[in-house]
Amino acid sequence: MIDRLQYSFSDLPPYDACVADTQAGLSRLLDTLRLDAVIVTSQDEFVTEYLPRRNNPRYAVSGFDGSAGCGIFLAEAVARALGVPPFVLFVDGRYHLQAERQCDPARVRVEKLGLNVSIWPALADWLVARADRIKRVGYDGWRLSVAQRDRLLDGTRAAHLEWTSLAGREIDRAVALPGWVVERPIFELPEAMTGTSVAHNIATLNRQLAAQAHATGTATGTATDGATAFVSCAADDLGHLLNSRGYHIPNASSHLGYLFVIGEQVALFLPEGCDRCPVELASYPALQVIRRDFDALARFLAQFAVGRVCYGFESVNCALVDTVRRVWPHAPHVDCNPVEAMRAAKTPAALDRFREAFARSSAAIAETMRWAKAGEPGRRHSEYDLARAISDAYGARGAVALTFPSVAANGANSASAHYTAASADVALGEGELVLLDSGAYYEAGFATDCTRVVLRRTRAETVAQPWQREIYTVALKACIKGLVTHFPKDATGADVDAAVRQVCRDHGHDYGHGTGHGVGIHVHEGGVRFAPGARYGLVPNAVVSVEPGIYLPGKGGVRIENIVIIRPSEQDPDKVRFENIVTVGYDWDLIDLDLLTDDERDYLRDYERLCVARGTQVTACPLL
């Protein structure tokens, strides 16, 4: 058992899908419904990222358990006519190797998408190209967001496909998915931890909704007379607005539910699966809790004359929206979720909690990486041991949960960007790269995240190979570029990505993932992102990762990840700087000093000096 922290789900029985059986069950469903294909996602009704296997239909029909990726399951006759396996799985660059390794090619075809190719347009294009064989396509309305459905419909319009919403859990039953039930309490954090109150959050949300309506000209007119209703089923939205936590699913401090805000009135609806959770939220008297009964929810909502419904199309499922439309059939729906920006810009109190959490996590990671590097005399250690060691190190410092399954990878496995199959059978090998990407939650329920790589060196004569030193040093240089550059206030996340990525490209390398993601209640948070084409700006007081990497399939990979707070630049009022809140030293056995500039040496000297002061140095720094 790797994870023994307070809010782990390690006591649950394992779920290992028999892909042959699940595919047979889904084939029977398609025959019964006379469908040519169905869309199978890895999401639940809350559009959750890290879904447990037992509630992940995409895992059930493919055997692939990465956090991102979806696919098309084909009727037997259609698959045979097209000459492809029954399931076509679409994955981005993070999961090319993992999907290839986990999927049986006789049953799953893996479509490996490039850096700038999104899953949903690619999936739509695939369907259009085969429209002579595929006419009728189904999808689970509870497991597909409105934006995803819109992309599919828009992308396949020329093919004139007939789309069918399956809102009765037909796919889940066809593959005998165990599903997910949780009964953990939903509890409230003190204002001292979050820096804001529920009343303040609701008032801010309503001001933002009113401002959006005014800016877009939808505040008046008969079509929108009445109140504005805000709807969300995104767990981190609920956690932010209600100052609440619940640890309802693995690797997330948030809780499940649907939230409805109409003026000062707030309703938390707990659907089947989380309807038995105690609710311990006392600071906002206008909050009503409705459990399981959709008719009761409809009666509550129908009390209000609503002229406009706002929600994030990316984060609300289609079936819930259909329920809302039945209550307010004439109210227009607007893609507007102010909570995303509210979450991204952290309060001073929340930022202090982040700094405290990262100080504890940095100490745990440094201790674990020193152990992973040096080993123990006469003892074999495995990837599993490494994953167990970091979990225990977090726990010793007060962690209550992991923020994602730790990536503990040895040797060639480190070239798989999101390798999570830490194995007791894979030893940490002498002279191999050992990568650890991990994070934890503490009392406030804010996520931490950090990646470090060391050379396994239990013997003094072991030295790094030239290619290991090259990719480590280049990735480090790229990370430093992101950490020290002062960017214009009006720059975008794409600008940061380009600056960091160019360092790798200048040395003949690149990586198939973005440079950074927002960090908040969840380890991956919207509102800020460093990636090609990222539309988000550099949000003051946002917390975001900087994590370039270089991966050589069959050999090994390096990713160096630090987490920063976006702050005003003291040097130039028109720029921002990044405050690094990770203090974990680097492995100087892997650094080629000749590749470093004087400025990079100065930065590393200061950083390692700070690590020494905090007891988080991993290896001795020759610059000190």
> pLDDT tens-digit profile of 435-474?
999 999 999 999 999 999 999 999 999 999 999 999 999 9
The Cα 596–Cα 603 span in angstroms is: 10
Using CB atoms within 10 A of its CB, is residue 226 exposed (0-12), middle (13-18) or buried (19+)? middle
Confidence category of residue 592, pLDDT binned at 50, 70, 90: very high
Residues 6+ apart with CB under 8 A from 230: 205, 209, 259, 260, 261, 262, 310, 311
What pLDDT is recorded for position 185?
99
Residue 152 identity (one-letter amino acid):
L
Task: Tell me the backbone φ, ψ of residue 293, rounded to 5 degrees.
Answer: -85, 100
The Cα 389–Cα 436 span in angstroms is: 11
Confidence category of residue 219, pLDDT binned at 50, 70, 90: low
Structure-token match 């399956």, residue found: 166
Task: Identify the three-state secondary structure at position 559.
Answer: strand
Query: Does residue 1 surpass a pLDDT of 90?
Result: no
Using CB atoms within 10 A of its CB, is residue 491 exposed (0-12), middle (13-18) or buried (19+)? middle
Mean pLDDT throughout 213-223?
64
The Cα 515–Cα 560 span in angstroms is: 10
Residue 4 identity (one-letter amino acid):
R
Interval 270-295: pLDDT, tens: 999 999 999 999 999 999 999 999 99
Task: Tell me the backbone φ, ψ of residue 451, rounded to 5 degrees.
Answer: -125, 135
Query: Does residue 386 surpass a pLDDT of 80?
Result: yes
Q: Which domains does the chain have, with CATH numbers?
A: 19-174 (3.40.350.10), 186-344 (3.40.350.10), 348-614 (3.90.230.10)
Beta strands in 403-488 (DSSP E): 407-410, 433-438, 440-441, 450-455, 487-488
Beta strands in 422-466 (DSSP E): 433-438, 440-441, 450-455
What pLDDT is recorded for position 616?
99
Query: Does residue 224 surpass a pLDDT of 60?
Result: no
Mean pLDDT throughout 495-519?
98
Give me the percent of the chain exceeding a pLDDT of 70: 99
Provide the terminal-to-terminal Cα distance of the chain, rounded to the nearest Å. Answer: 40
Q: CA distances (Å), 118 to each of 398, 505, 533, in order?
A: 38, 22, 11
Strand partners, 37: 74, 137
Joined together, the tokens standing for residue 404 give 């994602």
Query: Does residue 206 surpass a pLDDT of 80?
Result: yes
Strand partners, 229: 262, 309
Using CB atoms within 10 A of its CB, is residue 328 exposed (0-12), middle (13-18) or buried (19+)? buried
The Cα 227–Cα 575 span in angstroms is: 39
What pLDDT is recorded for position 12?
85
Interval 548-573: pLDDT, tens: 999 999 999 999 999 999 999 999 99
Joined together, the tokens standing for residue 129 give 């190209």
- Polymer length of the chain: 624
Q: CA distances (Å), 522 to each of 24, 401, 440, in order?
A: 36, 12, 11
Please give the mean pLDDT across all residues of the chain. 96
Query: Does residue 2 surpass a pLDDT of 90?
Result: no
The Cα 609–Cα 336 span in angstroms is: 46
Query: Does residue 225 surpass a pLDDT of 70?
Result: no
Mean pLDDT throughout 160-166?
97
Element (H, E) at 356: helix 348-374
Query: Does residue 221 surpass a pLDDT of 50?
Result: no
Half-sphere exposure of 337 toward its Cβ, with a 13 Å CA cutoff?
25
Residue 58 Ramachandran class (φ > 0 left, ψ -120 to 50 alpha, else beta): alpha
Interval 38-85: pLDDT, tens: 999 999 999 987 789 999 999 999 999 998 899 999 999 999 999 999
Query: Does residue 223 surpass a pLDDT of 80?
Result: no
Residues 6+ apart with CB under 8 A from 244: 186, 187, 188, 189, 238, 254, 255, 281
Query: Is the Cβ–Cβ distance between 417 and 513 less than 8 Å?
Result: yes
Task: Tell me the backbone φ, ψ of residue 354, rounded to 5 degrees.
Answer: -60, -45
Mean pLDDT throughout 490-502?
98
Joined together, the tokens standing for residue 531 give 């990636």
Q: How many CB atoms lie within 10 A of CB 574?
A: 10
Give me the percent of the chain exceeding a pLDDT of 90: 91
The Cα 583–Cα 610 span in angstroms is: 7
Confidence category of residue 325, pLDDT binned at 50, 70, 90: very high
